[in-house]
């Protein structure tokens, strides 16, 4: 055990995306590595942008990937009194002041300053007014230090120095009484005993703004670790343009949670040349020493490769369990009368090297879960020809009686037939494959017959023969 406490603090303004998940993962790994606590906190203090309905999907995303948390999810809107109380404390101590500038006025001034090429900081016009009980709507601003320097000793980037002159007097309480992010994050991180703030790179410039708040409130300042960003292929910030961005969308596209997590952990962290990490493995090996300092581009191909690796390595049972919901979503009945011999689990060993995603695997599984099988017309036209009919027919007749019906008994029959009819394996296997699966690609032909069983094998050959026009 240790007293390390970290948190993942998403704002419910959209779905949990790849970048958010990676932040959560690194927090989780750090906590698990050191026997600390991982806390989930929903930062929903923006009444206009927060959406209750996305909280559940965010939490489900974490759950799906196996990132379990020890406390929470806390919601900041349930803790508003805390922030208001702390804000008032700062006001009483003279560390904060009322500001009656309206958002519209501020916006105009900001734009004007920008147009003149000047600093876009708040001009501080309410700082010295000493308003005590403003009649008009007022926001509370923190009196930031304007001299000296703030130094952050970042666990990933090392020492970063900021000139306090660049600090704004940031609003900590909106005129509607809600706290802003800067206040609530500091109060919560302190009250929740967060020892390490692990977050995205986009927060580095927030850090020198928040450190003085910790100090003004009399709280110890946590350690910081700023993770490099994940970018899209065009090196811009990852967004919907770069493909599905919701974590749950990856589940729906047939990705295994362990594969996604494995991909993400290698985006910005490494352990020598190792590519494949089990959860246990990464917990054991994770360290900030090997977290990258520069941004990484999200590469869907490599994710897919990893997913394929996990499909190849996972147990049949585990893969089948994850495949089942997708099959049912597509309308296949996994408990109906039409099943591969040996059940769904039995098809997995034959499909695992062929499918890169579970969605692809659904496609591969279809011939064994439907009756009659869907026929690819082009394949039928090419391979189910009058010339092949006699051999197919002969094959069906002969395997009708082999006992038992298995590769050991069927293979000699097929070999004999090839010799008799002077056919090459390929010349006969393809038509047979099309007859049995409706398509030109499948697992080995003996495996297919094994999965189908004698009855379905014979029925499918029969159907195929029926559709072959007489020569």
Question: Which range, of 8-16, 81-89, 381-389, 457-465, touches RNA by CB under 7 A?
Answer: 8-16
Instruction: Give min distance, CB of 328 to RNA, in A.
Output: 24
> Which residue in the list 111, 240, 312, 400 is annotated as catalytic?
240
Judged by CB under 7 A, which of 51, 63, 444, 455 binds RNA? Answer: 444
Q: x-or-dash pattern for RNA, window 310-349, by CB under 7 A?
A: --x-------------------------------------
| Residue 80 in the binding site for RNA (CB under 7 A) | no
Instruction: Give min distance, CB of 349 to RNA, in A.
Output: 11
Instruction: Give min distance, CB of 201 to RNA, in A.
Output: 6
Q: In angstroms, rounded to a whole number, what is the distance separating the alpha carbons of residues 230 and 250?
A: 17
Instruction: Give min distance, CB of 459 to RNA, in A.
Output: 20
| Residue 440 in the binding site for RNA (CB under 7 A) | yes
240 is catalytic: yes
| Binding residues for RNA restricted to 29-58, rule: CB under 7 A | 43, 45-46, 48-49
| Binding residues for RNA restricted to 449-468, rule: CB under 7 A | none
Q: In angstroms, rounded to a whole number, what is the distance separating the alpha carbons of residues 258 and 86?
A: 42
In angstroms, how far is the first alpha carbon of the chain from the final one? 79
Question: Which range, of 27-35, 214-222, 393-401, 426-434, touches RNA by CB under 7 A?
Answer: 426-434
DSSP category for residue 469: P
User: From the CB of residue 301, how many other CB atoms can be counted at a distance below 10 Å?
Assistant: 8
CB 55 within 8 A of CB 283: no
Burial of 89 (0-12, 13-18, 19+ CB in 10 A): middle
Q: In angstroms, rounded to a whole number, what is the distance separating the alpha carbons of residues 91 and 140?
A: 8
Query: Which residue in 372, 252, 256 sits closest to 320, CA to CA?
Result: 256
| Residue 123 in the binding site for RNA (CB under 7 A) | no
Query: Which residue in 280, 263, 152, 274 sits closest to 204, CA to CA?
Result: 152
Judged by CB under 7 A, which of 302, 317, 382, 400 binds RNA? Answer: 302
Residues contacting 395, CB < 8 A, separation 6+: 413, 414, 417, 428, 432, 461
| Residue 157 in the binding site for RNA (CB under 7 A) | yes
| Binding residues for RNA restricted to 234-273, rule: CB under 7 A | 235-237, 266-270, 272-273
Check whether the bond before 372 is cis (ω within 30° of 0).
Answer: yes
Judged by CB under 7 A, which of 138, 197, 217, 452 binds RNA? Answer: 138
| Binding residues for RNA restricted to 158-217, rule: CB under 7 A | 158, 160-163, 166, 168, 171, 174-176, 178, 180-182, 185, 201-206
Query: Which residue in 232, 241, 230, 234 sits closest to 264, CA to CA?
Result: 230
Active-site residues, by number, are: 240
């Amino acid at each position: 055990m240790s007293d390390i406490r970290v948190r993942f603090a998403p704002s419910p303004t959209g779905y949990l995306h790849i970048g958010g998940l990676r932040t959560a993962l690194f927090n989780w790994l750090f906590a698990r590595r050191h026997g600390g606590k991982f806390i989930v906190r929903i930062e929903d203090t923006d009444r206009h942008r927060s959406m209750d309905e996305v909280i559940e999907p965010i939490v489900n995303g974490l759950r799906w990937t196996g990132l379990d948390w020890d406390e929470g999810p806390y919601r900041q809107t349930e803790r508003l009194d805390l922030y208001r109380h702390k804000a008032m404390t700062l006001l009483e101590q003279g560390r904060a002041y009322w500001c009656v500038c309206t958002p519209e006025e501020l916006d105009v001034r900001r734009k004007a300053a920008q147009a003149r090429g000047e600093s876009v900081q708040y001009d501080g016009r309410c700082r010295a007014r000493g308003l005590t009980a403003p009649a008009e709507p007022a926001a509370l601003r923190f009196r930031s230090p304007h001299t000296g320097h703030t130094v952050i000793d970042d666990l990933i980037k090392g020492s970063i120095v900021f000139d306090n002159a660049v600090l704004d007097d940031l609003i900590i309480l909106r005129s509607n009484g809600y706290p802003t992010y800067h206040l609530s994050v500091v109060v919560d991180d302190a009250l929740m005993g967060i020892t390490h703030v692990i977050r995205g790179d986009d927060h580095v410039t927030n850090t020198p703004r928040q450190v003085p708040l910790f100090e003004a409130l009399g709280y110890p300042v946590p350690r910081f670790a700023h993770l490099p960003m994940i970018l899209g292929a065009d090196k811009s910030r990852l967004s919907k343009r770069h493909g599905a961005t919701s974590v749950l969308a990856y589940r729906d596209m047939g990705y295994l949670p362990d594969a996604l997590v494995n991909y993400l952990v290698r985006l910005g962290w490494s352990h020598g040349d190792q590519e494949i990490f089990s959860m246990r493995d990464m917990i054991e090996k994770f360290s900030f020493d090997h977290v990258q300092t520069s941004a990484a581009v999200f590469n869907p191909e490599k994710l897919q490769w990893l997913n394929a690796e996990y499909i190849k390595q996972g147990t049949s049972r585990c893969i089948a369990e994850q495949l089942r919901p997708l099959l049912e979503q597509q309308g296949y009945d996994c408990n109906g009368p039409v099943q591969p011999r040996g059940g769904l689990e039995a098809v997995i060993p034959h499909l695992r090297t062929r499918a890169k995603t579970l969605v692809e695997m659904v496609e591969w599984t279809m011939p064994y879960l439907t009756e009659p099988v869907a026929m690819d017309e082009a394949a039928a036209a090419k391979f189910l020809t009058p010339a092949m009919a006699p051999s197919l027919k002969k094959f069906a007749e002969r395997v009708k009686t082999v006992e038992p019906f298995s590769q050991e008994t069927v293979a000699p029959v097929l070999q004999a037939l090839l010799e008799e009819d002077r056919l090459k394996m390929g010349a006969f296997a393809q038509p047979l494959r099309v007859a049995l699966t409706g398509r030109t690609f499948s697992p080995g032909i003996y495996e297919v017959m094994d999965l189908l069983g004698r009855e379905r094998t014979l029925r499918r050959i029969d159907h195929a023969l029926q559709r072959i026009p007489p020569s």
